[in-house]
Structures are given as structure tokens and as C-alpha cells.
Structure 1
């Protein structure tokens, strides 16, 4: 959209293409912000968005990390916040996809797209990678405009840390939310998108038209008024234990005391601040976790609970197909990143080696 509030035709067409290809709502929303940032940058710098030079794209990549984030995202009196190099890489990757797609439509010269990638031979491949009968898949197209950043680790919370968070919660709703994420491993968008009809917490749900035995929760992709969205397009159900059902009952008692929440079909709703009774949204949820993390003295984000659940399932020897199904992963290789060595396991390995060396001495 320009100063005359006219929509950018090519940008809108690209987003429509994402929607037509079945990309998730969250992906479309994220990409729209990145494309808008690119188009705004080009307009401000006097760059033809459809024909940027290599040096101009490099300059934008540097600008992304050097330019402070808008002040509206800064806490009053706080230090300016900046994008990380990893975030800049994600934004530039989206811009590259946008330009490549526009090139297929004849809106961007092919030479612009060709300068964004170069051939790269993979000396090391991830597990399950198909190199081809003659290794023809080992040469891939790698991005040329990209920061070299360390691969980020995947953080999770121990059972003790999760228990500490539960002890710090002041409301039954928040206690149930944390417990549900930790037990089911669902994404925060999936949790915020739950509706009452998804909570099958009876021993027998046949009266609800469900043949799944025992307490469980259904995860389905829907469009929700609070913007919550399930990443996986495939519906699934996840079993829960009796203690989770008990926490849900406590939450329902707390919720029933707020008259405005009676007519909302969403599971997680605002009970303590306006607008009362409306579905919880991402910002309020992250604010909740920020407060709890500050009080607990360690980092705690919703996705860390998902990571904790999947890590626990794998460590307990749960079949990987079962873990994949409960986690909502389309590829079995998505679980590879959840296999961690704990501090105690690392210590045990060192002590075991030291004991073996000591036993071998005469």
C-alpha cells in the first residue's frame, strides 16, 4: 500500500499465491509483514522494488540489523531493540522468494533472481537426505545474501522448572494453559485456537460422537477471531491424564464466575482484564509467560513447553511414529532436533570414561 492507500498489486498477488498453495495463515501473515517492509524500504530509498541491485539488497540486509525497531515496540525508558542477524536472514529469504515468484510472472528480470543464489556442494547432509543414485542432489542452490550465524539451540524446560512455573501461577486458567502445553506438546497457536467442543475429558466420549477412548483433546485447523491458527493441516487428538482434567475443572469453576465469558466458545478467554470474555490472543499470552519467567528467574516461552513434551516422549522410548503424530509433524526428521543430552548424561559419560581408564591402569 502506497501513500495514496493503493494496494500493491504484485504483493497482494504473491500473498494470494501462498494462500492458494495451502500455506498456513500464520505464514501468510508473517510474509505479508516482511514484503511490506521490503516495499517500504525501497520506496524510502528510491529503489525500484522489481529491479534491485545486488549491492542494494546487501545494504538492506545491513539496515535490518542496524536500524532500531520502531519506538512503539520499545518499553518506556528502555534500551532500543534491534533485529538479530537470524531475523534478518529470515526477512531476506522471504524477499528472495517474493522476487523469484514475481520473476515467474514476468514482473522481475530473471537476472535479478539469479544473483540471489549460487551452486553449493553439500559435503555433509542431514539424516535421511536423498543424495540421488549418482549424488546429483548434493549440489543445491544456496542463498548469496545471508549472514553466517550459529545454529540456535532448542531450549526446553525440565519437569522441576515446569512445576515451578505452575506454582507461580495465580489463576486456574494460567495453570491449566501451562499444564496443557507441557503435557500435549501442542503449539501455542493450537492451544489458543481450542474450542470447548475439542475438550473430550470424559472416560467415554461416544455420546459426543467420538470413538476415542479416555480423556483427550482434539487439535483442528480453523480460522479464529483471535488470530490463533493450527500450523498442521491434519487434525489429530492427544491423550491427557486425570490431573490435566482436574486442572480444567478448576479453570471452568473460575471461568463461570465471569458472566461475560459464558457465550464464548473458545477455551482460553480473558477473565481478568478487558475485553472480558473474549478469546485470549498471542500478545497477552506472551505477556503472561514474560511475567512468570521474570518471577521464576529463567527463560520460559510457550514453545519451550512443546519442546519439553516432545523431548520427554522421545526419552521415555515412545515410538517415533507416535511422537510424530502427537506433535503434528509431517516429517519424521522433524524430531531429530529434539534429541538432547542432559547435563547429567554428559557428566555420566565423562565419569564413565574416567572410571574405565582408571580400571585399565596396572
Structure 2
């Protein structure tokens, strides 16, 4: 049985100083057939202080809106970069746009985009947004209005500061932004962490799981599991609560 867990392998490349033997007899070694992978690290999220730090490090209204949008709606980066201006229903009443959803919201739709961005969820959904997010969008729209090349582009997120101006932002553009912010902040941050941040805030705020599932665009409830994060204060509170109960029982 043990022999079945290893096999002979010819060593084509030898480490420095290794003696293969006069006839190369030591070039054959037994190696493991089954290789174990390290467990996948848990997905991370940002607390409110970290999120405020990242937003504070942004230099442009566009970048502040992108971060706030991802953290406030739980969108995937592909969904965010694939947004069209027609998807932004930020009025109190969108009936004039042919939409019956009340209040400010954004529509997420799966479609082909020039920048390669793609909504993973196959079914369209809408996500409510806050007044603060609407204000950030207005700031970005003003910033964008000063770039002539972006005036007739329907994509929401476009290049405003580097050529080619007006072209839809790509995954590469977004990665460069988040990498720079991470270096400045001194901690890891990437777009998917903001999706986890949104989900964690909703769950910790006792939002029903089925509502969170709908907001995230998950078809299966099991897809929610990676988004359930316990904060340090939650774990400490749980331990201290049990200790207090046990202490009270011992006194009785």
C-alpha cells in the first residue's frame, strides 16, 4: 500500500552540489504520487476604519465612487466595470426611464462589453444605493464632464487621466488602482474584498440571508458561506459571554 504512494522519477535538473553518481544512478528518486495542497485561505474583508482609509487615499472622484460602489452594493469588479450610464437610476422616481423600482438604485445586467468586463450572474438584478453614493456619482460625473473624449461614451467607468482618454476602464486599470492604494495604506486590498465587506456588513446588521443572497446575485444559498466572516470582537464577545454564564453557574 505504501509503495503505491510513491513512484520512481528521473531527475532531469539537479540542485547545485548534488552528486548524480558516476553512471547517473542517483538521478532516479522516489517521489510522492499524492500531493497535498495547503487549504485555501479565507476571503478577507475590510472593517469600516480600513475602508475609510482606502477612500481617503483616492485622488479622484471616479476612484472614490468605484470603491464606494463596490463596498456599498457588493458588486463584483466585472459587474462594476461593465455598468452603462443607462443602468444608473439615481432619481427618487425612475418611472420616466421605464423602471418601476422606487428610490435610487443601480441595475446589473450581463452583456458583452468593449473592455471585457462581464457580470458573472446570468440573471439581471437591481441594488438600492444610498444618498451618499448618489452624491459621489454626481462628483464623478462633474469630473468626467471635463474630459471631452468621455462625453459620448456610455460606459460608467472610463479613463480620464491616461491615454486613451474616454476608453472604458479595464481589469488591468482597476488592479493598478487597488495595488497603489494597498501600498499606500500598508495592508492588502483588492476589489473582491469590497464585495465581502458589503456582505459582512449586511449579515452583521441582521439582514435576512435570502435578501443578502439576492443583493449579491447568488442563485444558491450555499454560495453565501464564504461571505460569512466573524470579526475579532464577535469571537471575543462569544468567549466572554460563555465565561460569564459559567461563572454565574459556579456561584449557584
Same fold (TM over 0.5): yes
TM-score (norm 2): 0.84
Deviation at 1:151, TM superposition (A): 3.1
Q: Which residue of 2 aligns with 1:275?
A: 164
Aligned partner of 1:171 among 52, 60, 70: 60
Task: Count residues in correspondence.
Answer: 225
- Please give the alpha-carbon distance, in whole angstroms, between the structure 1 residues aligned to 2:250 and 2:101: 59
- Please give the alpha-carbon distance, in whole angstroms, between the structure 2 residues aligned to 1:222 and 1:188: 14
- Please give the alpha-carbon distance, in whole angstroms, between the structure 2 residues aligned to 1:326 and 1:352: 32
Task: Return 5+ residue gaps in structure 1 as ranges.
Answer: 1-54, 60-143
Aligned partner of 2:124 among 230, 235, 238: 235
CA displacement, residues 278-333 of structure 1 (integer Å, 9 cap, x when unaligned)? 00000110110011111111111000000111111112121222111110111011
Q: Which residue of 2 aligns with 1:206?
A: 95
- Please give the alpha-carbon distance, in whole angstroms, between the structure 1 residues aligned to 2:249 and 2:97: 65
Alpha carbon RMSD of aligned pairs, Å?
2.2
1:340 equivalent to 2:229? Answer yes
Work out which of the two has the higher radius of gyration on C-alpha atoms and give 1 or 2. 2
1:245 equivalent to 2:134? Answer yes
Aligned partner of 1:302 among 183, 186, 191: 191
Q: Which residue of 2 aligns with 1:190?
A: 79
- Please give the alpha-carbon distance, in whole angstroms, between the structure 1 residues aligned to 2:101 and 2:166: 30
- Please give the alpha-carbon distance, in whole angstroms, between the structure 2 residues aligned to 1:151 and 1:270: 35
Deviation at 1:361, TM superposition (A): 4.4
- Please give the alpha-carbon distance, in whole angstroms, between the structure 1 residues aligned to 2:245 and 2:91: 53
Deviation at 1:339, TM superposition (A): 1.7
- Please give the alpha-carbon distance, in whole angstroms, between the structure 2 residues aligned to 1:332 and 1:358: 38
Deviation at 1:360, TM superposition (A): 4.1
Bigger proportion of residues as helix: 1
- Please give the alpha-carbon distance, in whole angstroms, between the structure 1 residues aligned to 2:35 and 2:175: 29
- Please give the alpha-carbon distance, in whole angstroms, between the structure 2 residues aligned to 1:349 and 1:275: 53
Deviation at 1:358, TM superposition (A): 3.5
Deviation at 1:271, TM superposition (A): 0.4
Aligned partner of 2:206 among 296, 306, 317: 317
Q: Which residue of 1 aligns with 2:216?
A: 327
Aligned partner of 1:289 among 150, 153, 178: 178
- Please give the alpha-carbon distance, in whole angstroms, between the structure 2 residues aligned to 1:326 and 1:287: 27
Aligned partner of 1:359 among 243, 248, 252: 248
Task: For CA contacts below 8 A with separation 6 or more, give which structure has more relative contact order.
Answer: 2
Q: Which residue of 1 aligns with 2:3?
A: none
Q: Which residue of 2 aligns with 1:158?
A: 47
- Please give the alpha-carbon distance, in whole angstroms, between the structure 1 residues aligned to 2:38 and 2:131: 44
For residue 217 of structure 1, give the secondary structure of its aligned residue in structure 2. strand
CA displacement, residues 75-131 of structure 1 (integer Å, 9 cap, x when unaligned)? xxxxxxxxxxxxxxxxxxxxxxxxxxxxxxxxxxxxxxxxxxxxxxxxxxxxxxxxx
1:218 equivalent to 2:115? Answer no
Deviation at 1:268, TM superposition (A): 0.1
Task: Return 5+ residue gaps in structure 2 as ranges.
Answer: 1-6, 11-32
